[in-house]
Chains A and B, each alone.
Chain A
Amino acid sequence: MPSRDEIFEKVKTALVDALGVDDDEVSPSATMVGDLGAESIDFLDIVFRLEKSFGIKIPRGELFPEDVLSSTEYVTNGKVNAAGIAALKTRMPFADLSKFEANPSVQNFANTLTVEDMVRYVQSKLSA
């Protein structure tokens, strides 16, 4: 199992290639959408690159739970409800959702995922 730093370096390479950002922009605390400018199509590109780089399989919706965020069961008046938060926590144990919970508007979710979340996600896949 590679170290956390080794994983970070490979995640950084994937993000630099997929998003066309500079090396130094990819810090652990950078948000995928707000800071690095990732759009929805970029997440699929990132999935391809992480799968290849780490030899893992990433099922659709696991890294970015678009189905939860568009579900009427989990979203009430544009905000993710308690059941939705619970679903997100189950689906994304690698992500730090504490900030999002304070203001769980669906629009805010885009600025929740960070580079460090990506690293933790890969760690969880490699240790599974």
Chain B
Amino acid sequence: MRWFWIDRFDEFVRGKQATAVKNVSLAEEHMHDHFPGAALMPNSLIVEGMAQTAGLLVADAIDYNRRVVLAKVANAEFHFDAVPGDSIRFHATILDLKPAGSLTRVTSKVDDKLQGEAELFFAHLEPGEGVPKLFEPEELLQWLDQMHIYDVGRDEAGQPLARPDW
């Protein structure tokens, strides 16, 4: 089982910004106990959705040649709860990118209202730096296809992204 907290990308501009959608549903099991009769999506999982949106944007920018690991969450604020029926739009922007790490800013909106915001800092680790291999290439590609990255993705010149041949 994988830990998917975004449903698809609507916008993906290589090395710059991306927008992903997460539809919150009462069918998700964790909602049944969180909380009975008053289901809401935990903000910790919203952070995970933010991290998947920004993490894939960063991983693509460095050609998936290092393991992109969420290292720090800074200045996170949440303004209201996301509940079943809500469609969350995560918008991630790369603020800075170096070989060893990246700084991103991510917002979450419901109906254009700002639900949450955070700065996410990612470490880019080489194999052997204490992180197990996260994906097999074909499994990663399957996820990227499921996220529609190569349907909506563009490079900075506006050209479609080429699907890698792994």
Q: Which residues of A contact B (CB under 8 A)?
A: 17-18, 20, 41-42, 44-45, 47-48, 51-52, 60
Contact = CB atoms under 8 A, between A and B. Distances in A.
A20 B100 contact: no
B95 A41 contact: no
A18 B103 CA distance: 11
Interface size class of B (residues with CB under 8 A): 10 to 19
A41 B74 contact: no
Lowest 4 A-B CB distances belong to which pairs? Answer: A44-B101, A48-B103, A48-B96, A41-B71
Given A41-B123, A48-B95, A52-B95, A60 B100 contact: yes
B72 interface: yes
A17 B96 contact: no
B1 to A, nearest CB: 28
Contact of B72 (A45, A47, A51, A52): A45
Contacts of A42: 72
B90 interface: no
Interface in B82-99: 95-96, 98-99
